[in-house]
Amino acid sequence: MVNCSGILSLPQEEQIACTLTAILRRNGNGEHGMSSETFILVCSILIEILKSPHAHDIEKLPSFIEESSRYAISSTLSHEYDSRIPIPHSLLLLKEALLFCLEGSKYNISSKKDLEDSIIGTCGTILLHWLESAVVDGNDEETLAGILQIFQLILSRATDKKPLKFAELLASSSWFSLSLGLMGLFPTDHVKSVVYLVTSSIVDRVLGCNYGETIRDAHIYLPSDPTELMYLLGQCSTEDFNLASCQCAILSILYACSFYNERLAADNQILASVEQYILLNGGNFPYEINFSVMFTLLVHLYAYVRGISYSCSIPHSPEAENTLFHVMTQKDWDLLAIRVHPIAIKWLFQKQELMEPLAFQMLNFCKTFCEDETIMLSNSSQLVDIQMVAELVLSGETVISFLLVSLLNQIVKEGTEDEVFSVVSVIAEIVTISPCSSDQFISCSIVDSFHDIYCLPYSSRIQTVCSYLIFNILCSASALTFSQEDEWLPLTVKLLEFINSGIDYTSSNQEHKILIGVLCFVLHHSASKVLVEPAKAIILNSSLVSLTDVIVQKACSKGPSLFQHNQDTAFGELLSLVLLLVFFSLRSLHTILEASIDWQDFLQHSEDIQSFSVLGIPCHDLCRLMHFGPPSIKLIASQCLLELLTRISDQRTCTNAELRCSVKYLKSIIAVTEGLVFSEDSKVAGNCGACLSVILGWEKFGSQEKVATRESKWFRLIMEEFAVALTAPGLTSKSFTNQQKFAANLAISLLRLSQVPDWLTSLFDSHLISGIVANLSARNVTAEIVNLFSELMARKYLSKEHIVALHNLFQVCRRQVYEGSSKAQMFGQSAKKVARSTDDMLALLFGLMLNQNADPGAVQSEQQTLLRAIDLFFQESSGRERR
């Protein structure tokens, strides 16, 4: 047909291909039989069409060939024909179809890719299965050679990532053992040559660095018996070029096998051969092994074999180990140049003796990471990547964390700024990937390294990444690791100096803002009685106290325009961070300086006092921020106000102290909090409701408090809205429970007044309570609602029917809580979060302030509070029945 160009038109060729495909389809489906001669003729015509100069212009040809080649292969290799004569023709059709895909024009690219995928799929199933059965059945050599030629074409010339995927498929199908079996079954030079050629291409793909070249160079001399391979490896080859080439090929094959759990020999035999090779050649490796990539492979292979032998308690040669370690300190090798096995890399980083060469390798890794972060973050199976390093650090079974910290200390003293940046960036990324690894770095004294960095005039890029790293370590490390706080105090003092030296209310410097977040976390940890001295240094820092006062006064002076300064503005972001710092300072004060604090000092106008000696904001200024500020400022300020009022209340209860502020001052606080009780932000509304509950509790202390609370007209409105919400049909959502908690607490406070308002008594009549009970369900019962009913029962607002109905409801609720707790224990801890930006940092600090951190104990604590409230209700109701 090639010699008759012009006789057949393209449509005619397409029609012939269509007809022949239909013939093969009917034959494959068993509709009619086909003789060997007819089959050969059909394949030959299709092959000639594929070879014709205009084949690439036939639009539907790829789809016809895809179907016909699949039917041809499946029918011949599934033993439908008694004769083996058709097999080479079906393989030739498949080979020509593959060449048609690879050598074609730019047209029909999509259909050709489909054809290529189909051919590779056929090779990975039917042809690979034939090879596996050939070892058992002893099929013919010609078919074997034909299949291997197609495999080689795919491995060497297929498009995109298909060669790698096909190599992975073959390697994971025990190719290396299979190839030795094929060479044993067909002991000819031709088969050995073709088999080793395919093996070399597989090694090229799965290892990279042209390691397959070692097999191609030595395949003539390589034996086909695995025992002989191990014997050759254990020989001295310093003066034998051919033997040295064979040994390099054997090392490549053995290392490639390690990734697919294949063994060409027993583990102890492989270890013995590798050790023998090192002992006999270690003093003077042949020149092939001196190339860094080959020596790197030897290092990794030895580390892998030692790693697996350790778990099996296989004895090793200390002399071989020492010889290799000595060469590792003398020769050039590159940890990053080769695909690494997790077992090998783990074993290497467990060896204290290799700290020096591994430190050099890790420095190169850090530089590479900073130069091409996207590649190093790609979780590549070919090279050492950041994910692998992070997992090794987290395991705690290697010296990587100690090595990185030691390296950081060394380059801070002797290295360049770029090197410092690269190492800090890698540690920061490790902590980002595996936050729990923070404990490892703290135990290696990384805090001292941070102090040294801030003592030197590094650029802002280093300070920024270092600040985020400190923040994330404080965010994710466990409290136990902070018990040794001596190293944290110098760092905290240095950070305070750095902040105070360059920040004011106009500052937009990101490093300063990140460091304020760092101080927030130090104060947060001090509430758990760790990092106490660093926290004192922050709270009592006069410059920071003055800075806070200046920023707050600047914010208050803006009046209504403050609402425009949300977190998206530079001032709004800085104000949010300063308020968060104040909040955590108040929490810390309660723990570490409670005896020295008179909380009523905060119940004064800011102009009535010169300055606070500790980090804090007067209640009046907090109210101004709540009134004028944007939503985020309202939330933090209301949280601070609630914290202050709670501490004042606790202190007054202990000391029975009189209120030192005026009635007018107290009324102003009540007015602001009442106005925000119906805020769209349920958290702000809840905080303000809780503030009002605290102030109502002060009524027992004196006449000033009674006057301030009884003159309020808002309490009645709040309670009426609460009653409507509790009785509204269908209100059983989660938002119901969140938004009504504060109102329940406020109702309890009103019920506990020495003189309960008449309007409250008339509001909580029997009809309303019945409606509330009927509208409640077990899923929206909260501890606050249960406490409210306990208070109503104590005040004799509940009838026996109410109590019985509530008993039944709370029993169901308690059972659901127990069931939910048992299910929750089946899940692990939520993943810890870290910050990559100031937005992330603010989100983490907000969550911490609102007790919404990832700790599942917060949910369990809320459930325990509910169970205690239910138990108390049952006890009080039982006591009432006995009376």
Both tokens of 748, joined, read 């309890």
Q: What is the DSSP letter of 436?
A: G
Q: Please report which helix (H) or strand (E) contains residue 735, including its range.
A: helix 734-751
Question: By residue range, what is the domain housing residue 13?
Answer: 1-159
Nearest of 125, 90, 126, 119 to residue 102 by alpha carbon: 119
Question: CB count, 10 Å around CB of 236?
Answer: 16
Give 3's contacts (C-beta < 8 A, 6+ positions apart).
none
Domain assignment present for residue 409? The answer is no
Residues in the chain: 883
- 279 closest CA partner among 309, 314, 250, 318: 318
In a domain, 764, yes or no: yes
Tokens representing residue 728 in the block = 């509204």
Could you tell me if residue 490 is inside a domain? Answer: no
CA distance linking residue 649 with residue 742, whole number of Å: 18
Q: Which residue has the tokens 């009504």?
A: 740
Say which residue the tokens 């949910």 belong to.
Answer: 859
The Cα 437–Cα 679 span in angstroms is 41
**pLDDT number for residue 853:** 43
Token pair of 566 as six digits:
């949300």
Tokens representing 514 are 């990140």
| Domain termination site, one of 159, 184, 214 | 159
Give the CA distances from residue 250 to residues 187, 211, 554, in Å, rounded to whole numbers and listed in that order. 19, 11, 75
Angle (nearest 5°) at CA 101 between 96 and 103: 85
Q: Are 538 and 544 in contact (CB under 8 A)?
A: yes
Task: Single out the residue in 133, 159, 185 at which a domain terminates.
Answer: 159
Tell whether 450 is covered by a domain.
no
Cα 519 to Cα 491, 577, 589: the distances in Å are 11, 10, 14
Residue with the two structure tokens 């490790």: 430
Q: Are 471 and 510 in contact (CB under 8 A)?
A: no
Q: Token pair of 182, please? A: 């094929």
In a domain, 744, yes or no: yes
Q: Examine residue 147 and state whether it is found in any structural domain, yes or no.
A: yes
Structural domain ending residue among the three candidates 125, 159, 193: 159
Block residue for tokens 């190339």: 291
State the Cα–Cα distance between residues 34 and 114, nearest whole angstrom: 28
**Residue 805: inside a domain, yes or no?**
yes
Q: Which residues, 6+ apart, have CB-to-CB distance to 160 below 8 Å?
A: none
User: DSSP characters for 590-614?
Assistant: HHHSGGG--GGGGSS-GGGSS--SS
Alpha-carbon gap, residue 411 to 420, rounded angstroms: 6
**Tokens 């005619």 -> residue:** 12
Q: How far apart are CA 146 and CA 194, in angstroms?
A: 10
What pLDDT, on the 0 to 100 scale, is given for residue 667?
A: 86
Residues 291, 294, 295, 297: what is their CA dihedral angle, to the nearest 10 degrees?
160
Q: Which 8-state DSSP code applies to residue 629?
A: S
Along the chain (883 residues), what's the average pLDDT of each consecutive run of 10 residues? 59 88 82 81 92 85 91 79 76 92 71 89 92 72 91 91 93 93 90 95 90 92 93 90 92 94 91 94 68 85 91 86 91 83 92 91 90 52 79 91 95 93 95 93 93 91 94 91 86 92 73 93 92 94 90 91 87 93 93 84 66 84 94 95 92 83 86 87 88 83 62 77 77 55 82 83 88 84 88 88 89 83 49 84 92 51 84 83 59
pTM for the model stands at: 0.83
* Domains identified in the chain, total number: 2
- Specify whether the CB–CB gap between 80 and 136 falls below 8 A: no
Q: What is the pLDDT of residue 596?
A: 82
With beta carbons less than 8 A apart as the criterion, state whether 51 and 99 touch: no
Residue 3 CB burial class (10 angstroms; 0-12, 13-18, ≥19): exposed
Helix or strand or coil: residue 739?
helix
Contact by Cβ (8 Å): 831, 432:
no
Tokens of residue 635, six digits:
């939330």
pLDDT at position 829: 47
Report if residue 134 sits inside a domain: yes
- The pLDDT value given to residue 662: 82
Query: What's the pLDDT score for residue 672?
Result: 92
Cα atoms in the Cβ-side hemisphere of radius 13 Å centred on 311: 10
Tokens of 193: 């040559």
Query: Cα–Cα distance between 513 and 837 in angstroms, integer?
Result: 11
Q: What DSSP line would sit under 131-187, residue for residue?
A: HHHHHHH---HHHHHHHHHHHHHHHHH-STTHHHHHHHHHHHTTHHHHHHHHHHHS-
Residues 6 or more apart in contact with residue 470 via CB below 8 angstroms:
450, 491, 518
pLDDT attached to residue 635: 95
**Residue listed under structure tokens 């290396």:** 176
Q: Estimate the crossing angle of helix 857-882 against helix 800-824, to 10 degrees.
A: 150
CA dihedral 335, 341, 343, 345 (to 10 degrees): 10
Write the CA distances from 671 to 62, 692, 709, 723, integer angstroms: 80, 10, 10, 22
